[in-house]
A = this chain, B = another copy of it.
Amino acid sequence: MSKFVSIRNIRFMIKEVFDSKSLTEYDYYSKHTEKMFDMVIDEALTLAVKLMYPVLEEMDKNQPVLENGQVKVHKSVKKIMKEFGQGGWIASGFSEAHGGDQIPLIIRGTISFIFAASNYSAAAYPELTAGAAELITSFGSKELIDTYVPKMLDGKWQGTMALTEPQAGSSLSDITTTAYPDKNGRFKIKGVKTFISAGDHDGVGNIIHLMLARIENAPSGAKGISLFVVPKKRTDENGNLIFNDITTTSIYHKLGYRGAPATELSMGEKDDCLGWLVGEENKGLSQMFQMMNETRILVGLGSCAIASAAYLAALEYTEQRPQGRPVTQKDPKSRQIPIIEHADVKRMLLFQKSVVEGSLSLVLQCSMYADLIKVSRKDEKEKYELLLDLLTPVAKAFPSEYGISSISNAIQCFGGYGYCDDFPVEQYFRDIRIHAIHEGTTGIQGMDLLGRKIVMKNGRAGLLFIEEVNKTLKTALEIGGLEFFAHKLQNAINQLEKVAGFLINIVGKKGIDVYLSDATLFLEFYGLIVISWQWLIQGIAAKKALSQDCSKKDKNFYKGKVFTMDYFFRYELPKILGLAARLMDNDNLTVNMKTAYFKD
């Protein structure tokens, strides 16, 4: 067990729960073997332990600064980008044609999990670069790919996603950054972008922004948004890098995630900022969203990663900290026990373990779907696409929101010490809080789930999900000792169908605004059921293992899995009772509430 991830759990997930090895039977992944997966994961852990974790607190305490128009970051960023480039970590998920390893997402996700758990801010730099490079390889011309992608995958240039503007955050269709075509097929960019992560820093030679902008006279709204590559420095006719008129105007001081700068950028102050169109005109938003979906899963992954580090820190502390005695022990002279032996502390640890490992399971499930999409034929492919679409908002939001509570519980395990920077949990509490906001707030995820994913293709995705659950239920019932959980999950699915039916009915009766008004709560409701499903899948794997010979250590591990599944079904899943009651209430309360009623 490292300080921040459980490698035993990772192996359980990618071997016993998700048969990631099976992917190597497809041509696209056939270069790989299970052993190679193991090796790459071990290497990632070594890198995380050596390079990332040691500077976790230092990077938090020495925030990026903006000096003379240049953002300066912790010196280890340079090292990290170099190592991640040279070691092929940024490229690992790319196709061989682009210099990558064609490693499946379930393995790449696992690696991202390890890096993010060791130091989320540090991991963001290469992660953002990979995402930006992937956008270029997916939609860009050969020239754009040749110019930018190799340097990005080598870690020499930083990539960013430049979407948000001061007046357009959640409402992306309102962006006003404008691209004016010039005679050479390029564009002059003018506008302001804000909250751009790694939008400028001195750890790399150049910053490549994948930027949304509106071509002059484009239609208004989402239909008029295009995607551009806008580098901080562009190449002149002699092949030299010259300033491309992007100015970092300010840098934010954030609650957490302090190791990576969030910047405000101004393009074209001197009318000399050039951008290159990526893909088709006015298709920018949908292209970006193709990327965004993967990014959302990575946000979910980042959340479980930070919560994992907090959980393991709390676990270690509670084993070592003596305090109090068993409730039944009245002798004040008796020895104090480690606090992990108090039921309430075990409850808090089980909560954390259930959130961390349940969320990780969902994220890896989504990754597996993404991998299968790449190699499956039409029908199967569509099935996985629908499932991935449906579960993405859950995989983004559930870990982000429950992760906050999870880390709050980690702090609670430490008592007063958890409130101080002698231990890293207070940092984790700050770091994780961004995830419910960036790449689409929880509210946006709720609207996406209820307003789009549940209703798309006549609700087919939801039905496919229930089919998947039914498969799990069938397997569970074939194994002894899981009837209770299968029964509970079946009930929850019945509840889900009832709630969804009630809500769909509302659209016609009361309108779409009432239908969507509690979308965030529906998302939590759905999330609890989805995570229960993932726990049952894990429970099946654990029960199977327990039915065979295994070491004492393994037995303990699998029993821990069964207990944690049990915890989730008995402590967390019942929350759907209150949520269902709420969702099937009939009052339109938040739609009717007036702004004036909030006032004094």
Which residues of A approach B to under 8 Å, CB–CB? Answer: 1, 6-9, 164, 167-171, 173-174, 194-195, 220-223, 252-257, 262, 315, 319, 322-328, 332-333, 336, 338, 340-347, 349-350, 353, 404, 408, 411-412, 415-416, 418-422, 426, 429-430, 433-434, 436-438, 441-443, 446-447, 451, 511-513, 516-521, 553, 556-557, 559-560, 563, 566-567, 570-571, 574-579, 581-582, 585, 587, 589-600
Contacts and interface: CB of A to CB of B under 8 A. Distances in A.
B600 A420 contact: no
Q: Which among A262, A344, A589, A598 has the highest number of chain B CB atoms within 10 Å? A: A598
Contacts of A174: 323, 332, 336
Contacts of A350: 589-590, 593
B171 A596 contact: no
Contact of A437 (B9, B416, B587): B416
A441 B345 CA distance: 12
7 contacts: A6-B600, A170-B415, A252-B420, A253-B422, A342-B443, A556-B596, A560-B599
Given A333-B220, A599-B1, A416 B556 contact: no
Nearest to A591: B343
Contacts of A262: 416, 420
A322 B167 contact: yes
A-B pairs, top 6 by smallest CB distance, nearest first, are: A221-B332, A560-B597, A343-B517, A574-B578, A577-B577, A255-B426
Contacts of A577: 574, 577-578, 581
Copies of this protein in the assembly total 2
B344 A519 contact: yes
A594 B594 CA distance: 52
Contact of A323 (B170, B223, B404, B415): B170
Contacts of A595: 319, 338, 340-341
Q: Which among A174, A408, A520, A574 has the highest number of chain B CB atoms within 10 Å? A: A574
Q: Which among A262, A342, A353 has the highest number of chain B CB atoms within 10 Å? A: A342
A413 B346 CA distance: 33
A74 B118 CA distance: 35
Contact of A578 (B256, B324, B353, B578): B578
Q: Which among A344, A345, A587 has the highest number of chain B CB atoms within 10 Å? A: A344
B567 A589 contact: yes
A420 B255 CA distance: 6
A441 B412 contact: yes
Contact of A1 (B222, B442, B600): B600
A269 to B, nearest CB: 22
Given A7-B600, A195-B416, A412-B441, 11 more contacts: A171-B336, A221-B333, A254-B419, A344-B590, A350-B593, A412-B437, A412-B442, A430-B430, A553-B599, A553-B600, A566-B587
Contact of A520 (B327, B347, B442): B347
Contacts of A556: 594, 596-597, 599
A169 B416 contact: yes
Contacts of A519: 344
A353 B598 contact: yes
A71 to B, nearest CB: 15
Given A512-B327, A589-B566, A597-B560, A429 B255 contact: yes
Contact of A327 (B167, B173, B319, B513): B513
Contact of A418 (B333, B349, B437): B437
Contact of A346 (B256, B433, B590): B590
Contacts of A6: 600
Given A1-B600, A443-B344, A571-B582, A436 B420 contact: no
Contacts of A447: 344
Contact of A511 (B328, B570, B594): B328
B557 A600 contact: yes
Contacts of A324: 170-171
A468 to B, nearest CB: 25
A590 B347 contact: yes
Contacts of A581: 574, 577
Contacts of A257: 419
Contacts of A437: 411-412, 415-416, 418-419
Contact of A253 (B421, B570, B594): B421
A257 B420 CA distance: 11
Contacts of A345: 443
Nearest to A166: B417
Given A412-B443, A559-B597, A598-B349, A343 B516 contact: yes
